Amino acid sequence: MLALPACDLGKITVGTTAKILVRGQPALNQESDYQLAHDAIPGALKTIESFWVVDPDNEDLLGILTEGYCQYGTAFIEDDWEVAKFAKKLDDIEYHNARATRIFTRCLNYALRQLGDKWQSDIFEAPEAVARLARDTGAGKRDQMMWAALALGSIINHNLSRVETLAYQPTVKIMLDRVLEIDRASPPARPEYAALPHIAFGMLYSAAGAQLGGKPDQAKAEFEAALKLTADKDHPDGRLLLARALMGYRIGLQTNDRKFFHAQLKQVLETPPSVWPEQRLANEVAHRRARRYLSHEKELFQ
């Protein structure tokens, strides 16, 4: 009884809850209803954030929040942003750009907290300093470094008019290169985690046309690597449909190859999202985007 005052019952409760949340996390990735996930995730993230306030050093909560905010930004806010772009609604584009920046900044901040004080202070230093940090970061922090790179890359993508933000593109590449170096020595247990850095490089290399420094061949190779990493004996073409949707859309436009664009997106829609039950939500997002891209095919290839 005398020891009880020294215990923080809130932290004890949160610690137990955090372990349950980790075990239940796959339920979100398995969700088949896009709108249900769209509406439910913000409240869930804020609830988990309230637990984190009670126990800010809880690694389980930090991991859930890091992945959760990056996934929410990619799957939902960027979807709203893309809808606004196709509709040419300038105010909505600006609004969703700002929201995406804030959400990906949360993901970045949570990832950096897990990476430690040195990363928090030096990530915005010169590339040479970041390269030293990355070299000193081992496999135990591989996922946190990946999420930090993906978040920073997404922030750049939503602030392309800001020169000071564009300057951090080499930082993103350094971090992703280090993640892949770690993966070659010790592949991640989760195939989708293995695929994500390749998708990020695919996005990076397909951001501009070949005349402006884009690298369509390398971009295609990276997307195909992501698909290969998510293949199995029954689905040799890969189960992460979002990689194929992005490859078809971005490289099709980058190379002005309408046939490639159409074939890849058609293949996405002909593959049921349930091809990978553990990543059902990501595949639902892929179907949603493939339908959107195909509905605008004529205007994209005038």
SS3 278: helix
For helices 90-115 and 78-87, angle between their N-to-C axes, nearest 10 degrees:
160
- Kindly give the confidence (pLDDT) of every residue in the chain, 302 residues in length, as a single tens digit, with 9 standing for 90 and above: 444 454 566 666 676 777 777 776 778 889 999 999 999 999 999 999 998 998 888 999 999 999 999 999 999 999 999 999 999 999 999 999 999 999 999 999 999 999 999 999 999 999 999 999 999 999 999 999 999 999 999 999 999 888 999 999 999 999 999 999 999 999 999 999 999 999 999 999 998 777 777 899 999 999 999 999 999 999 999 999 999 999 999 999 999 999 999 999 999 999 999 999 999 999 999 999 999 999 999 999 98
| pLDDT for res 12 | 65
Q: What is the distance between the alpha carbons of residues 29 and 162, in angstroms, rounded to a whole number?
A: 34
User: Do the Cβ atoms of 111 and 78 come closer than 8 Å?
Assistant: no
| pLDDT for res 78 | 96
User: Do the Cβ atoms of 232 and 239 come closer than 8 Å?
Assistant: yes
Q: What is the distance between the alpha carbons of residues 203 and 131, in angstroms, rounded to a whole number?
A: 21
Q: What is the distance between the alpha carbons of residues 199 and 207, in angstroms, rounded to a whole number?
A: 12
Q: What is the distance between the alpha carbons of residues 135 and 188, in angstroms, rounded to a whole number?
A: 18
Burial class of residue 128 in the structure, from the number of CB atoms within 10 Å of its CB (0-12 exposed, 13-18 middle, 19+ buried): exposed
- Tokens 């984190």 sit on residue: 52
| pLDDT for res 26 | 77
| pLDDT for res 15 | 66
pTM of the model: 0.91
Residues comprising the chain, all counted: 302
| pLDDT for res 9 | 62
At 168, which amino acid appears? Y
User: Do the Cβ atoms of 244 and 238 come closer than 8 Å?
Assistant: yes
Q: What is the distance between the alpha carbons of residues 301 and 198, in angstroms, rounded to a whole number?
A: 27
Pick the closest to residue 283 from 51, 34, 9 (CA basis): 34
Pick the closest to residue 103 from 78, 137, 83 (CA basis): 78
